[in-house]
A and B are shown apart, each in its own frame.
Chain A
Amino acid sequence: MAVMQEKAIEESLETDIPKARKPLSRAGLVWARLKKMPRFWIGITIVVAVILWAFVGPLLYPWSITDRDPLNMGMGPTMLHWFGTNSIGQDIYAQTLAGLQKSLIIGLVAGPTATVIAALVGSTAGYVGGWVDRIIQWVILLLLVIPAFFLFILLSPLIKGLSWVVLMFYIALFSWMIMAQVVRSQTRSLRNRDFVRAARYMGEPTHTILTRHIIPNMASLLIIDATLGVVSAIMAETSLSYFGFGIQKPDVSLGTLLSDGTAAAVTRPWLFVFPAFVLIILLFAISLVGDALRDAIDPTSGMNRD
Chain B
Amino acid sequence: MTDPATTVPAARQRTGTPLLSVRDLSVTFPQRDGNPVQAVRGISYDVYPGEFLGIVGESGSGKSVSSLAIMGLLPSTAEITGSIDFEGRPLIGLDDAKLSRIRGKELAMVFQDPLSALTPVYTVGDQISEALRLHDRHLSAQAAAARAVELLKVVGIPDAERRARAFPHEYSGGMRQRAMIAMAIANDPKVILADEPTTALDVTIQAQILEVLEKAKDITGASVVLITHDLGVVAGHADRVGVMYAGKMVELGTTAEVFAAPQMPYTIGLLRSVPNMLTAGTQRLVPLEGRPPSLANLPTGCPFAARCPIVIDACRDVEPALIAHDPQAPLHTSACIRAGEITRGELVRSEVFPRPEPLPAEERAETDDAPVLEVSDLKRHFPLMRGSVFPRRVGTVRAVDGVSFTLRPGRTLGLVGESGCGKTTTILEVMEMTAPQSGSIRIEGIDVSDASKKDVKKLRRDVQIVFQDPMGAIDPRLPIGEVITEPLQVQGVPKAQRDARVTELLDLVGLDPAMADRYPHEFSGGQRQRIGIARALSTNPAVLILDEPVSALDVSIQAGVINLLEDLGERLGLSYLFVAHDLAVVRQIADDVAVMYLGVIVEQGPVAEVFNNPRHPYTKALISAAPIPDPAIERGRTRILLNGDLPSPTQEISGCRFRTRCPLYALLDEAGQERCRASDPQLTPHGRSKVACHHADRSELAEDEALAAAS
Q: Which residues of A contact B (CB under 8 A)?
A: 1, 3-5, 7-9, 11-23, 25-26, 193-195, 197-199, 201-204, 208, 212-213, 216-217, 219, 306
Contact = CB atoms under 8 A, between A and B. Distances in A.
B297 to A, nearest CB: 5
A111 B381 CA distance: 45
B456 interface: yes
Contact of B460 (A9, A19, A201, A219): A201
B521 A26 contact: yes
Nearest to A193: B472
A201 B465 contact: yes
Interface in B1-42: 29, 31, 34, 37, 39
Interface in B54-83: 59-60, 64-65, 68, 73-75, 77-78
A18 B524 CA distance: 11
A199 B60 contact: no
A204 B73 CA distance: 47
B318 interface: no
B476 A23 contact: no
Interface of B is mostly: loop
Contact of B295 (A12, A20, A26, A217): A12
B521 A23 contact: yes
A15 B68 contact: no
B519 interface: yes
B487 A202 contact: yes
B524 A13 contact: no
A23 B515 CA distance: 13
B57 to A, nearest CB: 11
Contact of B477 (A16, A203, A217): A217
Contacts of B294: 15-19
B502 to A, nearest CB: 16
B473 A216 contact: no
Given A11-B65, A12-B39, A201-B460, A194 B467 contact: yes
B535 to A, nearest CB: 7
B310 interface: no
A7 B65 CA distance: 9
B85 interface: no
B116 A203 contact: no
A125 B624 CA distance: 48
A198 B64 contact: no
A112 B472 CA distance: 30
Interface string B617-639: 00000000000000000000000
A186 to B, nearest CB: 14
Contacts of A1: 73
Nearest to A4: B73
Contacts of B579: none
Contacts of A11: 39, 59-60, 64-65
Contacts of B29: 9, 12
Interface of B: 29, 31, 34, 37, 39, 59-60, 64-65, 68, 73-75, 77-78, 111, 113, 116-117, 292, 294-297, 431, 456-457, 460, 464-465, 467-469, 472-478, 486-487, 490-491, 519, 521-522, 524, 535
Contacts, number: 111
A202 B460 contact: yes
Given A5-B73, A193-B472, A201-B460, A17 B524 contact: yes
Among B68, B478, B486, B524, the most chain A Cβ lie within 10 Å of the Cβ of B486
A121 to B, nearest CB: 21
A198 B37 contact: no
B488 to A, nearest CB: 9
7 contacts: A12-B295, A15-B296, A194-B473, A198-B465, A203-B490, A216-B477, A217-B477
B297 A20 contact: yes
A12 B65 CA distance: 8
Contacts of A22: 522
Contacts of B476: 26, 195, 217
Contact of A7 (B64, B475, B486, B535): B64
A4 B65 CA distance: 10
A247 to B, nearest CB: 40
B473 A4 contact: no
A203 B486 CA distance: 10
Contacts of A193: 472
A304 B551 CA distance: 33
A265 B457 CA distance: 70
A9 B116 contact: no
A5 B60 contact: no
Given A7-B64, A12-B65, A306-B77, A199 B469 contact: no
Contacts of B467: 194, 197-198
Counting from the closest, the 6 A-B pairs by CB-CB distance are A15-B60, A194-B473, A203-B460, A194-B467, A194-B472, A195-B475
Contacts of B296: 15-16, 18
A27 to B, nearest CB: 10
A18 B297 contact: yes
Nearest to B536: A198
A193 B469 CA distance: 10
Nearest to A219: B477
A131 B454 CA distance: 27
A298 to B, nearest CB: 15
A217 B39 CA distance: 32
A20 B468 CA distance: 28
Nearest to B545: A201
B460 A5 contact: no
A8 B75 contact: yes
Nearest to A216: B477
A23 B475 CA distance: 18
Contacts of A26: 476, 519, 521
A38 to B, nearest CB: 16
Given A25-B519, A198-B465, A203-B490, A15 B475 contact: no
Nearest to A196: B475
Contacts of B491: 203
A198 B60 contact: no
Contacts of B68: 4, 8
Nearest to A14: B60
A152 to B, nearest CB: 32
Contacts of A201: 431, 460, 464-465
Nearest to B483: A195
A98 B158 CA distance: 77
Contacts of A203: 456-457, 460, 490-491
A21 B521 CA distance: 14
Given A18-B296, A194-B473, A198-B486, 10 more contacts: A1-B73, A4-B73, A5-B75, A8-B68, A11-B39, A12-B295, A195-B475, A197-B467, A199-B486, A213-B477
A202 B490 contact: yes
A7 B64 CA distance: 9
A14 B490 contact: no
A203 B522 CA distance: 27
A217 to B, nearest CB: 6
B486 to A, nearest CB: 6
A194 B475 CA distance: 9
Contacts of A197: 467
B472 A15 contact: no
Given A23-B521, A203-B457, A217-B475, A14 B59 contact: yes
Contacts of B292: 15
A195 B472 contact: yes
A22 B34 CA distance: 13
Nearest to B457: A203
A34 to B, nearest CB: 14
B512 to A, nearest CB: 12
Nearest to B520: A195
A194 B466 CA distance: 9
Contacts of A208: 490
A11 B487 CA distance: 34
A5 B74 contact: yes
Contacts of A5: 73-75
Contacts of B64: 7-8, 11
Contacts of B469: 194
A198 B473 contact: yes
